[in-house]
Amino acid sequence: MKTLAFILLILFFWFSASAQVVAIQCVKAPRMAYVGLDNPLKVAVDGYPGSALMVTVDNGGIDGSNGDYIFTPKYPSDSITIRVQVRTPTQIKEVQKIKVKLECFPIDSTTFMGHRSGFITAGQVRVAIGLDGNPQGFELTPHFHVTGFKVRVIRDGEEILSKSLSNRRGARFVDDEEVERVMSNINAGDSIIFTNITYLGYGECTGTMKSMEFVAN
């Protein structure tokens, strides 16, 4: 699962009569995280060892100890709350609660059978059609899949296929008989163009990616 770089964010929390300094190292930018991805987190509370920290989240899960954690928001929401407590011999003290904004991880492109554009063999196209599962031939970040695309095939200057496919669970060539037939019989020199490529990911994240154009050889 993709792990993201993080930026230091220093927060201050007043506890009792003294200043309690809490240092939180969060993802991408202050108070921001990505739904469905592993977000690194470092927490330090002045005056307490890492072993005394108790860090929880109200969306998804968090793993780690001694100040180093990975939290993974599971559900779409405007924000996730990170709660920091410390354990003492006599009690558990509340130190800080912060809200972290949740966003969908942006994906601007995908690959088809390992290629973004250029030449592709007719055999690779046929292999993609025969692949089990969704999607067929498109590769994305884990927990994301292609839900739709328009495919055009041009042979000797003539458009022999122009179809749009859409399936929330994963668009597949075999969902349409004409698409499956034409893509199964690609000839050398045929142009294959994918446009309007849409995706769905963890936390209901959606988007549209760049078009791709191939020439069969």
pLDDT, position 32: 83
Q: Check whether residue 115 and residue 200 sit in a common domain.
A: yes
Last residue of a domain, one of 103, 134, 163: 103
92-103/32-34 β-pairing: parallel
| pLDDT attached to residue 35 | 86
Query: Quick one: 96 and 115 in the same domain?
Result: no
Q: Is residue 185 part of a domain?
A: yes
Report yes or no on 140 lying in a domain. yes
Which CATH number is 78's domain given? Answer: 2.60.40.10
Between CA 19 and CA 9 the distance in angstroms is 17
- The Cα–Cα gap between 55 and 82 comes to 7
State phi, psi for 107 to the nearest 5 degrees.
-120, 120
CA distance 175 to 173: 5
Predicted pLDDT of residue 75: 82
Is residue 1 situated within a structural domain? no
**How far out from the chain centre does Cα 191 lie?**
30
The answer to the question of residue 70 being in a domain is: yes
pLDDT in 10s for each residue of the chain, 217 residues: 433 333 333 333 333 323 456 677 665 555 788 888 889 999 999 999 999 999 999 999 999 999 999 999 988 788 999 999 999 999 999 998 988 888 887 888 899 999 999 999 999 998 988 775 556 789 887 778 899 999 999 999 999 999 999 998 888 898 899 999 999 999 999 999 999 999 998 778 889 999 999 999 9
Residue 135 has what pLDDT? 61
Q: Is residue 71 part of a domain?
A: yes
Residue 44 located in a structural domain: yes
When divided into structural domains, the chain yields a total of 2
Shared-domain flag, residues 65 and 135: no
Domain with 60 in it = 6-103
Domain boundary pick from 71, 103, 135: 103
* pLDDT at position 9: 37
Query: What CA–CA distances, in Å, run from 214 to 21, 82, 122, 192, 195?
Result: 56, 46, 11, 5, 12
Domain contains 99: yes
